[in-house]
Amino acid sequence: MTATAQTAEEHGAAPRLAAMPEDWSRALAVVAHPDDLEYGVASAVAEWTASGKEVTYVLATRGEAGIDTLEPAEAARVREAEQRASAAVVGVTEVEFLGHRDGVLEEGPALRRDIAAAIRRHRPELVVTLNHYDTWGDAPGSPWNTPDHRALGRAVLDAVGDAGNRWIFTDQLELDGVLPWPGVRWVAVAAAPTVTHAAAVGEEAARKGLASLLEHRAYIEALTDEDPEAYARSIVHGGLDQYAQRNGGRRAVAFELHPR
């Protein structure tokens, strides 16, 4: 530990984050809803795809329960289209929807099975998901997380193990012709209450990350009376600025990283 770090810690400052691993070529991002990745992760995705990495999105639901003023069938259509457009902005061309029902996701074998199948098909080295803890922050009284996020994130962490085990969900191996995939090296949890690693984000990737969130225009307009651009900028840039101090002054997306 350097004298500077010691001093910072004595004064209660959070320690510097480790750099996210970069020695990988394929990532799979698995989340519950359209927009879950655009509230922060998309800027890191833009950085990754710009450097030639391949990133695929898998969404458990179409977010059909997410817009109060739209019937679920119409909301699903709108939100799927917005998600595909927002993925394209950050260089992601493949977006899969698992078709689970929005709002009532259950952590368990049915969800794990579909996520394991996606991992076996796409064979990622890095899996990215969203906060599965009870709250968004680590301070007492932090805002409560949603049931879908809690169920989904935990199912992802479990499904990574399932995907590598040829004795779990064996029918996928027999009927779908996929092979077990024990090659996931890390699971990165975004927006976690405590974080360990930072993916630095430059100017261009931050711009794409912002544009990516703005593709969810119908959702944002239903959510807030604020100007969509101002709203998205405060979310995306605010998120990137939040961890700069713990990343040598460079803006970053922060993750809790679980090595496998």
Q: Tell me whether residue 134 or residue 204 sits nearer to Zn ion (CB atom).
A: 134
Q: In the structure encoding, which two tokens stand for residue 252, read together?
A: 């970053």
- Inter-CA distances, 149 with 7, 133, 162, 189, 192, Å: 37, 8, 20, 11, 11
Q: How far is the CB of 161 from Zn ion (least distance, A)?
A: 24
Q: How far is the CB of 211 from Zn ion (least distance, A)?
A: 20
The one among 28, 30, 33, 160 contacting Zn ion by CB under 5 A: 33
Q: Tell me whether residue 102 or residue 125 sits nearer to Zn ion (CB atom).
A: 102
Determine the Cα–Cα distance for residues 45 and 240; give it in Å rounded to an integer: 13
Determine the Cα–Cα distance for residues 217 and 198; give it in Å rounded to an integer: 28
Q: How far is the CB of 84 from Zn ion (least distance, A)?
A: 17
Q: In the structure encoding, which two tokens stand for residue 177, read together?
A: 């012709």
By CB under 5 A, is residue 62 in contact with Zn ion?
no
The C-alpha R_g of the chain, in whole angstroms, comes to 18
Question: Which window, 28-36, 89-97, 111-119, 135-143, contacts Zn ion (CB under 5 A)?
Answer: 28-36
Say which residue the tokens 């995939």 belong to.
Answer: 181
Q: Tell me whether residue 28 or residue 60 sits nearer to Zn ion (CB atom).
A: 60
Determine the Cα–Cα distance for residues 74 and 172; give it in Å rounded to an integer: 32
Residue 38: name the closest of 206, 152, 158, 257 by CA.
206
By CB under 5 A, is residue 36 in contact with Zn ion?
yes
Q: Tell me whether residue 131 or residue 247 sits nearer to Zn ion (CB atom).
A: 131
By CB under 5 A, is residue 216 in contact with Zn ion?
no
Q: Are 198 and 246 in contact (CB under 8 A)?
A: yes
Question: Which window, 27-35, 42-50, 68-76, 77-85, contacts Zn ion (CB under 5 A)?
Answer: 27-35
Coil, strand or helix: which one is 202?
coil
Q: For Zn ion, what does the binding mask look like between residues 93 and 122, x meaning CB under 5 A? A: ------------------------------
Residues that bind Zn ion (CB under 5 A): 32-33, 36
